């Protein structure tokens, strides 16, 4: 019997992804910083709360929502994922199940119309949820939903509809976690660094240096896969679909994407649709 451990594309042992909420004007600067460093992530939008075209905000206002056109221009060709954040950002667990379902479905439908692609990811408004809400998301076709629960480690998700994060960007542990992530390497299961927040918080705290320094520190690592949330989800599902012969000496990959594993013999690629003998 040999142990089979997941590795990310190219056999990499670590992945990094970001998740930012609400669809605000500060996302423009954040996307520029991320793209400068080759970092990808997911932006969770409330399509029912886009600012009217031509909106002018009073001086000093921090939470400035994008217009629909502004969101399209920012995200459509950015390489970033767009995901659901519910139509009007309610506490979903406080709504009747039918209303909660409508909030998610309407937001998903609107975003799919705007960005011309299926959308299956989500972040919970306010980070709150219940078992009923989770089941509602399944009915709405949501594959993963991020909470605001921080683990301050790099564990793999145990429940994608109750997705935890490594930390919020204001967590005091962030610099140490970034140093550990870059300098160390997992011995067994791969690492996932999942950072979340709201980009308007950088303006509110006058601390854009937090995300600039973080991105500079974790960028360009040969052993890190930089991906949007849904890419990590889809890849993990492909790994979970691998089919093993008794003793794991032969592995079949029924999915449409290549998967990398760490076996006793080292890093092995299992091409899409292929059967590989170890």
**What DSSP string describes 155-215?**
PPPS-GGGEEESEETT-TTHHHHHHHHHH---SSSPEEEEEEE-THHHHHTT-HHHHHHHH
pLDDT for 98-126, tens place per residue?
Answer: 999 999 999 999 999 999 999 999 999 99
Domain edges within the chain: 13-239, 243-277
Is residue 88 within 8 Å of residue 124, measured between CB atoms? Answer: no
**What strands lie across the sheet with 259-263, from one edge to the other?**
5-7, 259-263, 266-270
Is residue 194 within 8 Å of residue 109, measured between CB atoms? Answer: no
CA-based R_g, the chain, Å: 19
Structure confidence at residue 222 (pLDDT): 98
Residues of the chain with pLDDT under 50: none
Q: Name the fold adopted by 13-239.
A: TIM Barrel (3.20.20)
Structure confidence at residue 147 (pLDDT): 98
| Straight-line distance from the first to the last Cα atom of the chain, in angstroms, rounded to the nearest whole number | 12
Q: Collect all residues with Cβ–Cβ distance below 8 Å to 68 and sequence separation of at least 6.
A: 47, 50, 53, 114
C-alpha closest to that of 92 among 79, 82, 102: 102
**Could you give the CA distance from residue 225 to residue 17 in angstroms, rounded to a whole number?**
9
Structure confidence at residue 120 (pLDDT): 98
Q: Tokens 């119309």, residue?
A: 113
Q: Tokens 């659901």, residue?
A: 84
pTM of the model: 0.97
Q: Collect all residues with Cβ–Cβ distance below 8 Å to 25 and sequence separation of at least 6.
A: 64, 65, 66, 70, 200
Structure confidence at residue 160 (pLDDT): 98
- Name the percent of the chain in helix, strand, coil, to the closest 5: 35, 25, 40
């Amino acid at each position: 019997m040999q142990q089979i451990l997941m590795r990310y594309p190219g056999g990499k042992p670590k992945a990094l992804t970001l998740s930012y909420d609400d669809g605000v004007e500060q996302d423009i600067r954040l996307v520029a910083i991320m793209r400068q460093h080759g970092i990808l992530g997911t932006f969770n939008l409330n399509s029912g709360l886009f600012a009217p075209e031509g909106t002018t905000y009073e001086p000093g206002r921090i939470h400035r929502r994008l217009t629909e056109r502004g969101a399209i221009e920012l995200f459509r060709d950015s390489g970033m994922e767009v995901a659901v954040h519910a139509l009007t950002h309610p506490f979903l667990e406080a709504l009747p199940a039918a209303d909660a379902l409508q909030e998610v479905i309407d937001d998903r439908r609107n975003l799919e119309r705007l960005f011309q692609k299926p959308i299956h990811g989500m972040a919970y408004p306010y980070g709150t949820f219940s078992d009923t809400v989770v089941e509602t998301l399944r009915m709405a076709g949501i594959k993963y939903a991020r909470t605001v629960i921080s683990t301050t480690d790099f564990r793999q998700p145990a429940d994608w509809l109750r997705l935890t994060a490594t930390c919020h960007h204001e967590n005091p542990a962030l610099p140490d976690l970034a140093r550990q992530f870059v300098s160390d390497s997992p011995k067994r299961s791969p690492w996932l660094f999942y950072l979340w927040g709201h980009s308007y918080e950088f303006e509110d705290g006058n601390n854009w240096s937090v995300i600039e320094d973080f991105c500079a520190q974790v960028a360009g690592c040969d052993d890190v896969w930089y991906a949007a949330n849904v890419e990590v989800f889809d890849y993990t599902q492909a790994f979970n679909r691998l089919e093993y012969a008794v003793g794991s000496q032969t592995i079949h990959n029924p999915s449409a994407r290549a998967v990398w594993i760490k076996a006793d013999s080292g890093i092995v690629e299992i091409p899409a649709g292929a059967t590989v003998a170890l």
